[in-house]
Amino acid sequence: MTNPYEQDLDRQPANFQPLTPITYLERAAMTYPDRLAIVHGAQRISYGDFWRRSRQLASALAGHGIGKGDTVTAMLSNTPPMLEAHFGVPMVKAVLHSVNTRLDAAVIAFQLDHAETKVLIVDREFSGVMREALALAKAKPLVIDYDDPDYPADAPYPKGERIGSVDYEDFVAGGDPDFAWSMPDDEWNALSLNYTSGTTGNPKGVVYHHRGAALMAYANTIHAGMGKNCVYLWTLPMFHCNGWCFPWTLALQGGTHVCLRWVRPKPIYDAIADHGVTHLCGAPIVMSVLINAKAEDKRDFAQTVTFNTAAAPPPEAVLAGMADAGFAVTHLYGLTETYGPAVVNEWNDAWDALDRDARSARKARQGVRYAPLEGLTVMDPETMTETPADGETLGEVMFRGNIVMKGYLKNRKATDEAFAGGWFHSGDLGVMHPDGYIQLKDRSKDIIISGGENISSIEVEDALYKHPAVATCGVVARDDEKWGEVPVAYVELKPDAAASEEEIIAHCRALLARFKVPKAVIFAEIPKTSTGKIQKFKLRGLAQGG
Amino acid sequence: MTNPYEQDLDRQPANFQPLTPITYLERAAMTYPDRLAIVHGAQRISYGDFWRRSRQLASALAGHGIGKGDTVTAMLSNTPPMLEAHFGVPMVKAVLHSVNTRLDAAVIAFQLDHAETKVLIVDREFSGVMREALALAKAKPLVIDYDDPDYPADAPYPKGERIGSVDYEDFVAGGDPDFAWSMPDDEWNALSLNYTSGTTGNPKGVVYHHRGAALMAYANTIHAGMGKNCVYLWTLPMFHCNGWCFPWTLALQGGTHVCLRWVRPKPIYDAIADHGVTHLCGAPIVMSVLINAKAEDKRDFAQTVTFNTAAAPPPEAVLAGMADAGFAVTHLYGLTETYGPAVVNEWNDAWDALDRDARSARKARQGVRYAPLEGLTVMDPETMTETPADGETLGEVMFRGNIVMKGYLKNRKATDEAFAGGWFHSGDLGVMHPDGYIQLKDRSKDIIISGGENISSIEVEDALYKHPAVATCGVVARDDEKWGEVPVAYVELKPDAAASEEEIIAHCRALLARFKVPKAVIFAEIPKTSTGKIQKFKLRGLAQGG
């Protein structure tokens, strides 16, 4: 029988358009042309100008022959050209590839070749390593130098030489501000490319589509509580999951971007006090920077600032310190493959009445899915059946929905593995609580198996963080003849704090089952990625070598 | 050449799911199971129970053989079953058809037959007219009575007899609260059906799809500023564009629905004061009810309440009265075909500094598009070219994007006409201002052409509203030998206010060009639709007859 609701009711231009975040900026520029879109040093860019400059960039790219499926690579700090690239590049149906600015030349060269980069925009801060990378790479892109007029006078790093054939401002100036930009042909078209850091083997290129980014913008606005006058400070690198999609998100409400080249306490506090910052994001390390800032670097501010942090659950002491300093912390979780955060620790007001330990336990959970993520669960990856929602049975955290990547570029095998059984396999181990909140227990490779018992390195690290002298720590396995593996702890102490190995071990004994207590404590600087993640594989290497 | 971004990167269950608002309620029920979802009289329904009851309803419908493409009709007030129907019906891939509760039996019968209603849920308030309609209709649906246990004791209308074969609560109780509900096969599938009131000819059935409703939920949340603890009062009928999609919207933030059977001042003020209402919607007439309430019906409240009003721009005096009473008014515009409001008068803070007249002029504009509406413009419908953005040249307001209906049910001709040239033709006349904001000038049929000059009835009405004694008014054309047409005014005075025809005309002369001044003022009760819209066609009939 014919279903009348499917007769003569087809998609057509009047009622169906591809979802894309580009239209959000178009709308903001029309609605709030004079509103402040971008603050960078002495620069003030309005929404009208942001839109015009993005179109100019698009026009200049089109003039250079860039179009659908071409890769434009950006190795930029959190500066205006990076924001412009988030709109100008997709306006010609090209794909924005952002390079982690801490990478070495060999990895960058791999990415340029794998992505088949046609145009490269590089900040002079990074021209040294990029020159090396270009020498190694087969790709021969048009190289555009960005020479930041607001490069801070007190820069910890000097600007490098120009290595390009054209200056960014000259390139943009050659474009038409009224350029007839293009909607994507399909919302499934690629929008951006982000390589995972990949501790072993070659990095994988995670491809985002317009649909996912458009939905993430709605979700970020709602879950982060971004109202009509939000001001966003760029502590999170935009090369990391496209800044969790916030370059696109802010256009929805016409919020203000405050650029930031380096995460240093004084410029952050200055931005909060001087520009009325309402929101910022970052790894837990950024919270440490804020809390442990010198008194003369801190500033008073009246507003409550929302700090979105991802990855490891923030230790209780850090949360308390942040609250005292005027920040409300929201705990998120996600991966490059999920456009950044896709899980949020949605706080139930009723939990405020719980005692301190119960509250801490609730805060340590990663939480529930973002609205545009249709599925989040914990499964046995062998059988693809859900683990019991008992808060104890370990399984692999799995995602499904519209904010999961399109796949890995030119890597069908990895894509198929990641999506086996109709779910994205995160590689993270966790549990499902009876109320449907998930909690990470460990990266599978970070589980320490000692005497047949699983030890979560997170649990041991949590105990270490409760010691007043501990600034940063990482717990990894060391091979052991008797137990198979034993946990050892690498610890960085706070400035001017002191503690002995014995003291730290005694502290852990008071908090942990005996088999979980580190067998050794090594005081050392902890190796971290550019985004503040502790590099466990390096610690593991050290632990095995020691 | 092959585009690597389109190789082996296809849609699959892990990264592509149909957009649907059903998943928002699922998420809210898991995240906030104990949070208050629905207040109705003495009833308190949690999010957990809202979800379970919706699944029970779905299960009971499935048990009755209801599935994809079947129509479930609801003639209900703003009560819990109407909210449950917004989720339970689409959970079995069926389509929710909401009947305007003020319609007569013949129109209802037409709708039941046209929609091929399989199941009908009817509140006992409307059983009298529905019995007549069923006698007229060919459709023989399963009829379910809803017997509201919280039918107000001071009801202005008595409950009618039962006319169904089963009671709503019994029907739901027969369903399984753990029913395995279905995602739509495609986000383009039909979700709901709303007939336009259609002043002439048969009503047209506007079909909504899951994609549009899912996007409207995001847009409503953002544009109406609905935060985590929003409380929504149901002054707007849910049968009107599915309550502008707010039944689905609130699930995103886990907000509370406060039901309301009739728009009367005392229950509204009581709800605001007792339940902490933060948001409500309605036609301008609802604002009049609030402002003109008797002192003993009013209540004090601490919160600012956001009032979203659509259709006619609120007169300055009404806005001032609303501000004094503690309401912040947002002016929206849209049609049944655009899921309710799709245009918002986005206020620029800079306009606060304008003088009173300039501010009024800004407030009178309908505004800019909602974020998920990709296009909004004013065109000459003959040539499909945009009118100059000069704030003066009249054209037809046109919409394009993802919150435009799927089309008219079983009416290809009307659908094709409405979507001619790739845009939805609203039938509303307006202008585009230089800054991209649109302003309605009139429904095409409401333009009065006098001596070759166009008179906007809205402009004349605005002048009338500035008279302190005028409560409601409507201006229409009366045929005139000399001028072709002349404007005449129908006026309803405020309680205890007095004014003569001469006085009103003199008032208009001070504000309007002479040819725009009404040639007659008739004091009478103004006929309105169930949603508070003034029925111009009735006034036109009266004016021609007079």
First-to-last C-alpha distance (Å) of chain A? 74
In this structure, are residues B129 and B153 in contact, taking their beta carbons and an 8 Å threshold? no
Dmax (CA) for chain A in angstroms is 79
Structural tokens at position A182: 């293009």
Give the closest-approach CA distance of A16 to chain B in angstroms.
5
- The values of phi and psi at residue A322, to 5°, are -65, -40
- Rounded to the nearest 10 degrees, how much is the dihedral formed by the CA atoms of A424, A427, A431, A433? -40
Task: Give the C-alpha separation, A15 to B497, whole Å.
Answer: 48
Task: Give the C-alpha separation, B426 to A488, whole Å.
Answer: 70
Q: At what angle do helices A47-63 and A22-31 cross, to 10 degrees?
A: 140
Q: Which of B1, B2, B3, B5 to mutate to test the interface with A (most CBs of A within 10 A)?
A: B5
Q: What is the CA radius of gyration of chain B?
A: 24
The mean pLDDT of A472-484, rounded to a whole number, is 84
In this structure, are residues A161 and A42 in contact, taking their beta carbons and an 8 Å threshold? no
Q: Is B222 on the interface with A (CB under 8 A)?
A: yes
- Cα B189–chain centre separation: 22
Q: Is B95 on the interface with A (CB under 8 A)?
A: yes
Contact list in A for residue B183 (CB cut-off 8 A) is: 374
Q: Which of residues 430-469 of A touch B (CB under 8 A)?
A: 435-436
Residue with tokens 């924001």: A83
Query: Residue ranges of the domains in chain B?
Result: 451-545
Q: Which residue of A has its CA nearest to B405?
A: A15
Q: Which residue of B has its CA nearest to A367?
A: B31
In this predicted structure, the answer to whether residue A531 has a pLDDT above a threshold of 90 is no
| Adjacent-strand bridge partners of B460 | none
Structural tokens at position B66: 């209801």
Q: What is the pLDDT of residue A311?
A: 64
Contact list in B for residue A27 (CB cut-off 8 A) is: 368-369, 371
Residues A66-77 have pLDDT tens digits of 999 999 999 999
DSSP line for B241-274: HHHHTHHHHHHHHTPEEE-BSS--HHHHHHHHHH
Q: Is B415 on the interface with A (CB under 8 A)?
A: yes
Give the closest-approach CA distance of A222 to chain B in angstroms.
7
Asked if A419 and B69 come within 8 Å (Cβ–Cβ), the reply is no
DSSP line for A265-304: HHHHHHHHHHH---EEEE-HHHHHHHHT--GGG----SS-
Q: What is the pLDDT of residue B295?
A: 93
Q: How confident is the model at residue A407 (pLDDT cuts 50, 70, 90)?
A: very high
In this predicted structure, the answer to whether residue B353 has a pLDDT above a threshold of 80 is yes
Structural tokens at position A393: 């049975």
Residues B135-156 have pLDDT tens digits of 999 999 999 999 999 998 888 8
First-to-last C-alpha distance (Å) of chain B? 74
**pTM of the entire structure?**
0.86
Q: At what angle do helices B284-291 and B265-275 cross, to 10 degrees?
A: 80
More confident residue, A65 or A311: A65
Task: Give the C-alpha separation, B137 to A208, whole Å.
Answer: 52
ipTM for this model: 0.86
Q: Which of residues 297-336 of A touch B (CB under 8 A)?
A: none
Q: Is B391 on the interface with A (CB under 8 A)?
A: no
Q: What is the pLDDT of residue A199?
A: 41
Q: What is the pLDDT of residue A449?
A: 73
The mean pLDDT of A501-523, rounded to a whole number, is 91
Contact list in A for residue B35 (CB cut-off 8 A) is: 348
Fold of the A16-209 domain = Rossmann fold (3.40.50)
In this predicted structure, the answer to whether residue B345 has a pLDDT above a threshold of 50 is yes
Length of chain A, in residues: 546
The mean pLDDT of A393-405, rounded to a whole number, is 95
Which of A502-516, B37-51, B182-196, B313-327 has the weakest average pLDDT?
B313-327
Asked if A371 and B405 come within 8 Å (Cβ–Cβ), the reply is no
Give the closest-approach CA distance of A149 to chain B in angstroms.
30
- The values of phi and psi at residue B187, to 5°, are -70, -10
Q: Is B6 on the interface with A (CB under 8 A)?
A: yes
Q: Which residue of B has its CA nearest to A221?
A: B222
- The values of phi and psi at residue A420, to 5°, are -55, 135
Asked if B6 and A190 come within 8 Å (Cβ–Cβ), the reply is yes
Q: What is the pLDDT of residue A217?
A: 98
Fold of the B451-545 domain = GMP Synthetase; Chain A, domain 3 (3.30.300)
Q: Is B424 on the interface with A (CB under 8 A)?
A: yes
Residue type at position A3: N
Structural tokens at position B244: 């502008």
| Residue B175 DSSP code | S
Q: Which residues contact B179 (CB under 8 A, 6 or more apart)?
A: B55, B56, B58, B59, B62, B91
Task: Give the C-alpha separation, A256 to A233, whole Å.
Answer: 8
In this structure, are residues A430 and A440 in contact, taking their beta carbons and an 8 Å threshold? yes
Distance of CA B474 to CAs B289, B325, B534, B543, Å? 18, 25, 7, 11
Distance of CA A328 to CAs A304, A305, A318, Å? 7, 6, 11
Q: What is the pLDDT of residue A482?
A: 74
Facing B34 at nearest CB: one of A350, A402, A424? A350
In this predicted structure, the answer to whether residue A480 has a pLDDT above a threshold of 60 is yes
Facing A400 at nearest CB: one of B13, B371, B406? B13
Going by C-alpha positions, the residue among B509, B17, B4, B140 that lies closest to residue A69 is B4
Q: How confident is the model at residue A323 (pLDDT cuts 50, 70, 90)?
A: confident
The mean pLDDT of B522-542, rounded to a whole number, is 82
Q: How confident is the model at residue B84 (pLDDT cuts 50, 70, 90)?
A: very high
Q: Which residue of A has its CA nearest to B23?
A: A374
The mean pLDDT of A193-221, rounded to a whole number, is 88
Q: What is the pLDDT of residue A1?
A: 66
Element (H, E) at B163: none
Asked if A435 and B33 come within 8 Å (Cβ–Cβ), the reply is yes
Which of A311-315, B208-212, B241-245, B515-519 has the weakest average pLDDT?
A311-315
Contact list in B for residue A402 (CB cut-off 8 A) is: 15-17, 19
Do the bridges between strand B484-493 and strand B520-523 make them parallel or antiparallel, or are there none, so unpaired? Answer: parallel
- The values of phi and psi at residue A128, to 5°, are -65, -55
Q: Which of residues 15-74 of A touch B (CB under 8 A)?
A: 15-17, 19, 23-24, 27, 30-35, 68-69
Structural tokens at position A15: 């009622």
Asked if A222 and B222 come within 8 Å (Cβ–Cβ), the reply is yes
Tell me the three-class secondary structure of A116-147, residue by residue: CEEEEEEEHHHHHHHHHHHHHCCCCCEEEEEC
Task: Give the C-alpha separation, A68 to A91, whole Å.
Answer: 10
- Percent of chain A with pLDDT strictly greater than 90: 73
Q: Which residue of A has its CA nearest to B407?
A: A9
Q: How confident is the model at residue B444 (pLDDT cuts 50, 70, 90)?
A: low
Task: Give the C-alpha separation, B532 to B329, whole Å.
Answer: 17
Asked if B5 and A95 come within 8 Å (Cβ–Cβ), the reply is yes
The mean pLDDT of B247-265, rounded to a whole number, is 96
In this structure, are residues A341 and A366 in contact, taking their beta carbons and an 8 Å threshold? no
In this structure, are residues B492 and B534 in contact, taking their beta carbons and an 8 Å threshold? no
In this predicted structure, the answer to whether residue A536 has a pLDDT above a threshold of 90 is no
Tell me the three-class secondary structure of A210-266, residue by residue: HHHHHHHHHHHHHHCCCCCCCEEECCCCCCCHHHHCHHHHHHHHCCEEECECCCCHH
Task: Give the C-alpha separation, A306 to A280, whole Å.
Answer: 6
Q: Is A509 on the interface with B (CB under 8 A)?
A: no
How much is the mean pLDDT over chain A?
A: 92
Asked if B30 and A188 come within 8 Å (Cβ–Cβ), the reply is no
Torsion sign over Cα B147, B153, B157, B161:
positive
- How many of the other CB atoms lie within 10 Å of CB of B411? 19
Task: Give the C-alpha separation, A133 to A136, whole Å.
Answer: 5
In this predicted structure, the answer to whether residue B54 has a pLDDT above a threshold of 60 is yes
Q: How confident is the model at residue A444 (pLDDT cuts 50, 70, 90)?
A: low
In this structure, are residues B342 and B437 in contact, taking their beta carbons and an 8 Å threshold? no
- Percent of chain B with pLDDT strictly greater than 70: 96
Asked if A31 and B368 come within 8 Å (Cβ–Cβ), the reply is yes
Asked if B407 and A8 come within 8 Å (Cβ–Cβ), the reply is yes
Distance of CA A533 to CAs A397, B424, B463, Å? 19, 50, 65
| Residue A478 DSSP code | E
Facing A402 at nearest CB: one of B17, B225, B418? B17
More confident residue, A440 or A50: A50
Facing A5 at nearest CB: one of B207, B221, B253? B207
- Cα A426–chain centre separation: 15
b/e code A46-63 from CB counts within 10 Å (16+ = b): bbbbbbbbbbbbbbbbbe
- Angle at the Cα of A495 (from A493 to A501), degrees rounded to 5? 25
In this predicted structure, the answer to whether residue B200 has a pLDDT above a threshold of 50 is no
Distance of CA A367 to CAs A373, A392, B270, Å? 13, 15, 36
Counted across chains A and B, CB pairs separated by less than 8 A come out at: 181
Task: Give the C-alpha separation, A192 to B282, whole Å.
Answer: 42
In this predicted structure, the answer to whether residue A313 has a pLDDT above a threshold of 80 is no
Q: Which three-class secondary structure state does DSSP give residue B416? A: helix
The mean pLDDT of B322-346, rounded to a whole number, is 93
Give the closest-approach CA distance of A294 to chain B in angstroms.
35
In this predicted structure, the answer to whether residue B258 has a pLDDT above a threshold of 60 is yes
Q: What is the pLDDT of residue B361?
A: 84
Contact list in A for residue B434 (CB cut-off 8 A) is: none
Q: Which of residues 242-281 of B touch A (CB under 8 A)?
A: 252-253
In this structure, are residues B355 and B399 in contact, taking their beta carbons and an 8 Å threshold? no
How much is the mean pLDDT over chain B?
A: 92
Q: How confident is the model at residue B481 (pLDDT cuts 50, 70, 90)?
A: confident
- The values of phi and psi at residue B45, to 5°, are -115, 125
In this structure, are residues B430 and B368 in contact, taking their beta carbons and an 8 Å threshold? no
Going by C-alpha positions, the residue among B493, B496, B527, B525 that lies closest to residue B507 is B493
Q: Which of B9, B72, B230 to mutate to test the interface with A (most CBs of A within 10 A)?
A: B9
Q: What is the pLDDT of residue A135?
A: 98
Q: What is the pLDDT of residue B197?
A: 63
In this predicted structure, the answer to whether residue B98 has a pLDDT above a threshold of 90 is yes
- Cα B78–chain centre separation: 13
Task: Give the C-alpha separation, B214 to B31, whole Å.
Answer: 19
Give the closest-approach CA distance of B72 to chain A in angstroms.
13
Facing A17 at nearest CB: one of B11, B253, B402? B402
